Structure formats: C-alpha cells, structure tokens
Structure 1
Amino acid sequence: MMTPQAPARPDQRAYEEAIRAEPSVLVTQLRDLLGVRLVAVIANVRETRAVHEWAEGSREIRNPVVLPRLRLAYQVAAMIADAESPAIAQAWMQGLNPLLDDQSPALLLRADDSQETGQRILAAARTFAANG
C-alpha cells in the first residue's frame, strides 16, 4: 500500500521552473508575466531592447547578479500569478509592500541582491499568495 505524499509547497513549482529554465526561456516567461519594462527595472538595464534580446537568445546576460535576480523575480511572480493572476503579480511587484517596509519588491530586488532580501521578498510573496 502506498503512502500518500504530502502536497508540495505552493511555491515549489515556481521555484523548480525558475531554477531549471534556460535564461532565454526564463526571461520570456518573466516578460510575459510582468511586462518588458518591469523586467528591465528589475534587471537594472536602461533599455527594454536588452530584455527582448535576452528572451530571443541573441544577447547573453553578462552581469552575474542579474540572472539569479531574474530567477527569484520569476519564482515570486509565478507563485502570485498561480494564486491570483498575472495582473496581480505585476501589481504586487510594483506596489509598496507593508511586509517590506513599504518598499516595492521590484525596486528592492534591484537594489539589494543579498540572501536576506531575497528571503524577505519570498516570505512576503508567500504570505500574499496564501492569504490573498
């Protein structure tokens, strides 16, 4: 007799997708969820053309901090989009969040790549996804 497995955490699928995705696929999915301008803000690039070229695979992401930042942004956005909608995920990333000292998750992520900040953003996203 098989023992039923405990359900995976709600954000497990988003985490696995974020980690496994090739950079061009990741950027394409993130761009589809959040829009090209917000992805450019998170990546801290001045032009949306860079985001489009990353998605097409015609340009590499050269800055070593950008890809992990985009993976975390995708994890958070996908988790919220699954619980709510892509529009809510986009609004959540841009809004001033009381769990993040009234800072925008997107701007906070762009400004601080520390593990602690990533953990705070994930915790705020999990709370929002669970409670709506």
Structure 2
Amino acid sequence: MTPPPTTAPGLGAYRESVTLPFPHLVVALRDKLGAQLVAYLGGVTDTKAVRQWAAGERRPTHVVEHRLRLVYQVAGVLSEATRTPAVVQAWFMGANPALDDRAPAWMLREHPVGEVSSVVLAAARAFAGGADF
C-alpha cells in the first residue's frame, strides 16, 4: 500500500493537530478564531479558561481537547485557501449549505466529534477547494 503524498490538502493541518502540545494549539486557535469562538467550541462560558489552557495552567476534559484538535485541523484546511482569520471565523459561525445550513461551530459543540468530524472536514475541504455545494 502506498502512503498518501505529503502534500495532500489538509495533511499538514492534521499532523499539527495531532502533534502540537495542547497549549500551543490553543494559542494558534485563539489567533485564528478569537478567544470567544474557542471558548464556545470548548464548551466554556468565558475566555478565562481559554487563557488558562493557552498558558498550560489548566487542561480541559479529553472530549474537549479532542474537539479542539479537530477544530484546529479544520481551521488549517480553511487557512490553506484563505489566510484571512475573519473568513475562517465566518465559516465556523455561518449557516453552511454543505451541513444542511447548520453552523459548523454548533455542530462541533453539540454533537460527538466522531459523529460529525467527517462531514465537517468534508465541508471545509469543499470550501477550501472552491467546490459548489
């Protein structure tokens, strides 16, 4: 079996989502998405927890860490297509036609990661590739 090419779309984002120390991952997410959206996706009500995660002073549950690692991967796929954090933020918050007009952030927060990861990643890849929905 031949390994996938190292230049496959989203491969770098996946690799980083798995290997980055969690505090570094949170800092990068905060830079791309803003602290409020990271807090929402992390299931917390304010940004204090996000600051603590970024500083390594606190760890979320395993479920939340897994979700934020997926969010990082998705944000990386989107960032390959646009370097504008505002576009990436808007993608997460907007009604997405590839997701039955549901916001990706809501889907990721309200459903188990294993149930929605493939559809959210597919929607991000379609957007990044310029595909019609």
Q: Same fold (TM over 0.5)?
A: yes
Distance, in Å, in 1 between the alignment partners of 2:100 and 2:12 is: 28
What fraction of aligned residue pairs are identical, expressed as a percent? 44
Counterpart for residue 12 of structure 1: 11
Distance, in Å, in 2 between the alignment partners of 1:73 and 1:109 is: 8
Query: Under a length normalisation based on structure 1, what TM-score does the superposition of the two structures give?
Result: 0.91
Q: Is the 8 A contact 2:94 2:103 kept in 1?
A: yes
Distance, in Å, in 2 between the alignment partners of 1:82 and 1:127 is: 12
Helix, strand or coil: the match of 1:69? helix
Runs of 4+ displaced beyond 6 Å: none
Matches within 5 A, 1:41-120: 41-61=40-60, 63-85=61-83, 86-120=85-119
Q: What is the CA-CA distance between 1:67 and the residue it aligns to? A: 0.5
Distance, in Å, in 2 between the alignment partners of 1:7 and 1:57 is: 31
Aligned residues: 127
Which sections of structure 1, spanning at least 5 residues, go unmatched? none
Which protein shows a greater Rg?
Answer: 1
- The one-letter code matched in structure 2 to 1:79 is V
Summarize deviations over 1:83-106 as a string: whole Å, max 9, x none. 112221111011110111111101
Q: Is the 8 A contact 1:14 1:78 kept in 2?
A: yes
Q: What is the CA-CA distance between 1:8 and the residue it aligns to? A: 2.1
Q: Is the 8 A contact 2:67 2:113 kept in 1?
A: no
Query: Under a length normalisation based on structure 2, what TM-score does the superposition of the two structures give?
Result: 0.90
Which sections of structure 2, spanning at least 5 residues, go unmatched? none
